[in-house]
Amino acid sequence: MAKVYVSSTFADLQEERRAVFDWLRAARHQIVDSYLPNSETLRDGFLHDLDTCDLYVLILGHHYGFQVQEDNPEGLSITHLEFRRAGRSGIPRIALLRTTIPDVSLSDIADPQKAAMVQAFRAEVTDTVRSAEFRDERSLIQVLSTGIQGELEKRSTTVSGAGLTQGIFLSYRREDAAPYARLLQRELKERFPDARVFMDLDSIEAGLDFAELIGRAVDSCAVLVALIGRQWVTLTDREGHRRLDNPDDYVCFEVQRALERGVRVIPVLVDGANPPGQQELPFELRKLARLNAHKLSYGSYQYDADQLFGLIQRVLVEVRDRAGHSARQDADHDALEETARVQAEPKARLEVDRNGLNAAGPKARSADLKAGEERTKSAEEEAPAARAFDKIEPNDAEEPLNEHSPSDASTRVGLTSNRDKNRTSSPYNILAATATALQADFRTGIHNGIATCGWSQYLGDRVPPSAIGTSYGLRTALALDLRSPEINYSAIVKSLLRLQRPGGGWAASTQRGIGRPEVTAWVLGAASRAGMDHDEKKELVHLLERMTTFDDPIALNRTTVMATIVSTLTDVEPTSERLPVLSERIARGCSAVNSDRTLVAWGEVLQEGSKPSIPHSARAVIALGKAAKVVRGIPGLNATADAGRNWLSQNSVELLDTDEQLRRPVGDGDVDALFIGHFTAAWTARALLTSEEPHAHQVALRRALRIVIDSQRQGIWRWHDDSTPIWMTYQGISVVRDYILKGLMWPP
């Protein structure tokens, strides 16, 4: 049982509050309600009550709420103040955000000033904690129960397995604050003889797992003191990478573990160090920037240390009192339950003896039937989204090509901004949201006089389906195992076949006349996956092979085009006679970065000396990795792919999205062009995920995945001009899906 502080506005969330209170009472938790606006001791009251609680639950809609007048320079609402106080007090926060507005009159939508404050508050919440979204009372209770259970499980994990103890953990960097750490360790042991003081070296015996022991030690502590010196933010490792950006850095691990487990974290600024800003910290540690910091300097060491020890003393007392109070309540409740059970047992036996059936039986069966009906109804309502990730299988990192036209951004409507941080979202929620959006965006139309069904280039726009857009939508639907009466895969394939250019194959809308190999390869791969007639597929494969024998410098010399063709042939026709030739062309088109060729890279053009490019190298690595599984007689394909991954792992610091143009002369001084957008972080992540040992690249992989997740909102990915190209969403869900299927840690 936990003491739970429930915070929300009142006017717009009365039914939600009632549902949350009912669930918490049924689960035996003690509820502390946020104060009403007419309380005479408003500020002191709710702040005091908050500090005594084990968990904080925020229910946030679209109404900002009452704003305290006194001692409130920012003019924040009570709910906003409570949210910040819980963070400063180190109380685990469970944030539940309503996505719908049942009654607009109870919201602040019509008030521009209040609406802006609501949006700012919601942005602060999503940027600070792992929030969950709900649309009605049923989904509210689902996310509430998940959040409560998760936080209680975190709190129950300790060194002894018996609960939170009175430990004190000192977190520091040796190059930054080692002398102060030693001084504090000695004085803390003298000041608090009953509390165990943990430091990384002295508290851990030889031969034990360093990370595991540190994690268990942090879990057992009531307080973690984070010593922050002047180099704490900027210190780098031997390769020149900032230590804070390494998810396996022990200092990051210690602080993140404490923040996640509800351990009180006290930042201590040593010798004039500045407090780290949010933008300087990795996402998992950004809460640290919001905590009030304590100062510790050489000139006033004893005074500063005494103030710190007084604060630690108060924390230890609060934790001890809270643990005792909770234990007494649990014991009392268990005693009452046992008394009730003993009193009820003779009566239950008597009813069974008389009737052969416990009197409670029919009622229980009736309740079970009703609950079953509700579960069935709920499952039917959510089936399409649920199936979207119910049968997902690993992806071989196929090689997408995309038609990109930034000038069309103004025509795309109906989707919300995606610049909020979303790393805390469940990967399954992201995939389900993508499935819902993809299903809603499926449409029919007339394209160049041809009846079509599928998707256009951009999610949320108002134009008919295109060949490239439909092929990406088809691949996305197949990757999510999306099943819906409206989405008929056979009809979609037939629609794609009708969109071929004269002579066969496909081209982008900005390309002239005949089919082009880069687009033909991509659409053919999608149609083949969905299931197409064998003869039609065979004919298109032969067409694609012929396209690679033409005198077409774009097809033969560009990394993007060649990688797309090789990737498609490995999927559709792995015995193609052209596949070994084209695979070898990619392998020979790289540039050695070092003398032993353990690091290689590719540029836009397949030739030695081409300027190294992260997205092109990633595309080449993926294509070679797939080809190495089916092509025989060409040694070194795997080794070259590995060398490319090594280069990506060491050079994926700035994963900026880029554009590329494929331009072909078509006579009379004119050209046809294809604009390609490279989602660099997604390409990097997918290339690293094809490794047999993805853990060897985990720093670069997690960095790339964070950028991928940050680029989406509610399952839809956005380009840097805020447009919503369907190819970007396809690459985004491919990364998320493949990452979780590798069994890697989430959030990254």
pLDDT of residue 421: 47
Provide the whole-model pTM.
0.50
Q: Tell whether 212 and 306 lie within a shared domain.
A: yes
Question: Which region among 32-36, 349-353, 441-445, 642-646 has the lowest average model confidence (pLDDT)?
Answer: 349-353
DSSP character string of 395-461: -----------GGGGGG--S-----S--TTS-HHHHHHHHHHHHHHH-EEEEETTEEEEE--SBTT-
pLDDT interval class at 208 (50, 70, 90): low
Do residues 145 and 175 share a domain? no
Same domain, yes or no, for 497 and 558?
A: yes
Evaluate whether residue 366 is within a structural domain.
Answer: no
Percent of the chain that is helix, strand, coil (3-state, to 5) = 50, 15, 35
Average pLDDT taken over every residue of the chain:
79
Are 316 and 206 found together in one domain?
yes
Residue among 548, 532, 471, 467 at smallest CA distance from 500: 467
> In this model, does residue 555 exceed pLDDT 70?
yes
Is residue 728 predicted with pLDDT exceeding 80? yes
In a domain, 748, yes or no: no
Considering the domain boundaries, does residue 250 fall inside one?
Answer: yes
User: Could you tell me if 191 and 132 are in contact, meaning their C-beta atoms sit under 8 angstroms apart?
Assistant: no
| Coil/strand/helix, residue 666 | strand
Whole domain around residue 95: which residue ranges? 3-156
Sequence-ordered alpha helix ranges (H) in 198-284: 210-219, 250-260
Res 600: pLDDT: 95
Q: Is there a single domain that holds both residue 401 and residue 303?
A: no
Q: Do 220 and 77 sit in the same domain of this protein?
A: no
Over residues 505-546, the pLDDT tens digits come to 999 888 877 899 999 999 999 999 988 888 899 999 999 999
**pLDDT of 723 strictly over 70:** yes
Q: Are residues 447 and 518 in the same domain?
A: yes
Q: Could you tell me which residues come within 8 angstroms of residue 393 by beta carbon, excluding any fewer than 6 positions away?
A: 741
Grade residue 87 by pLDDT with cuts at 50, 70 and 90: confident
77 and 132 in a single domain? The answer is yes
Residue-level pLDDT at 177: 86
Same domain, 241 and 281: yes
Residue type, 288: L
Q: How does pLDDT run across 348-397, given as a tens digit for each residue?
A: 433 333 333 333 333 333 444 344 444 334 433 444 433 333 333 334 34
Q: What DSSP element (H or E) covers 351?
A: helix 301-355
Q: Are 453 and 465 in contact (CB under 8 A)?
A: yes
If residue 267 lies in a helix (H) or strand (E), which one and from where to where? Answer: strand 264-270
Rounded-to-integer distance, Cα 171 and Cα 265, Å: 10
* Banded model confidence at residue 64, pLDDT cuts 50, 70, 90: very high
Q: What is the pLDDT of residue 351?
A: 38
**pLDDT of 475 above 70:** yes
Three-state DSSP class for residue 576? coil
Where would I find the beta strands (DSSP E) of 639-738? 658-667, 670-678, 712-713, 716-717
Average pLDDT on 43-71 reads 78
Q: What is the mean pLDDT of residues 598-613?
A: 93
Long-range Cβ pairs for the range 576-583 (8 Å, 24+): 576/541, 576/545, 577/545, 578/545, 578/548, 578/549, 579/627, 579/630, 579/631, 580/631, 580/632, 580/633, 580/634, 582/548, 583/623, 583/624, 583/627, 583/631, 583/634, 583/637
Instruction: Let me know: does 716 contact 701? Beta carbons within 8 Å.
Output: no
Treating both helix axes as pointing N-terminal to C-terminal, what angle do 680-689 and 637-651 enclose, rounded to 10 degrees?
A: 130
Residues across the chain: 748
Q: Within a domain: residue 224? A: yes
573: left (phi over 0), alpha (psi -120 to 50) or beta: beta
| Mean pLDDT, residues 274-286 | 87
Give the pLDDT score at 408.
36
Asked if residues 725 and 404 have their Cβ atoms less than 8 Å apart, the reply is: yes
- Which of 275, 300, 320 delimits the end of a domain? 320
| 33 and 96 housed in the same domain | yes
> Strand runs (DSSP E) across 2-158, as ranges?
3-8, 30-33, 55-60, 93-98, 132-134
Q: Is 331 a domain residue? A: no
Alpha-carbon span 199 to 176, nearest angstrom: 15
Which CATH number does the domain housing residue 616 bear? 1.50.10.10
Which pLDDT value is given to residue 729?
Answer: 96
Q: Do the domain assignments include residue 515?
A: yes
pLDDT band at residue 1 under the 50/70/90 scheme: low
The 10s digit of each residue's pLDDT in 149-199 is 777 766 654 333 334 457 899 999 888 888 888 889 888 888 888 788 888
Confidence of residue 322 (pLDDT cuts 50, 70, 90): low
For the segment 333-355, the average pLDDT, to the nearest whole number, is 41
Mean pLDDT of 194-213: 64
What pLDDT, on a 0 to 100 scale, did the predictor assign at position 3? 85
Name every residue whose Cβ is closer than 8 Å to that of residue 103 and which is 6 or more positions away in sequence. 12
Mean pLDDT within 254-263: 86
Looking at the structure, do residues 90 and 214 belong to the same domain, yes or no?
no
Q: Mean pLDDT throughout 128-155?
A: 81
- Say which amino acid occupies 487: I
Domain-terminating residue out of 290, 320, 350:
320
What is the rounded CA–CA span in Å between residue 388 and residue 280? 37
Report the C-alpha dihedral over residues 106, 108, 114, 115, rounded to 10 degrees. Answer: 150
List the single range of 152-156, 264-268, 455-459 with lowest mean pLDDT: 152-156
Total Cβ atoms within 10 A of residue 63: 24
Last residue of a domain, one of 99, 130, 156: 156
Whether 705 is covered by a domain: the verdict is yes
Structure tokens at 595: 């003398």
pLDDT for residue 398: 41
Q: Is 128 in the same domain as 172?
A: no
Give the CATH number for residue 183: 3.40.50.10140
Domain count, the chain: 3
Tell me what pLDDT residue 155 has: 60
Amino acid at 163: G
Please tell me the predicted confidence (pLDDT) of residue 685: 96
DSSP tag of 484: B
Q: Which band of pLDDT confidence, cut at 50, 70 and 90, is reported for residue 139?
A: confident
For residue 18, is pLDDT > 60?
yes
- Assigned domain for 369 exists: no
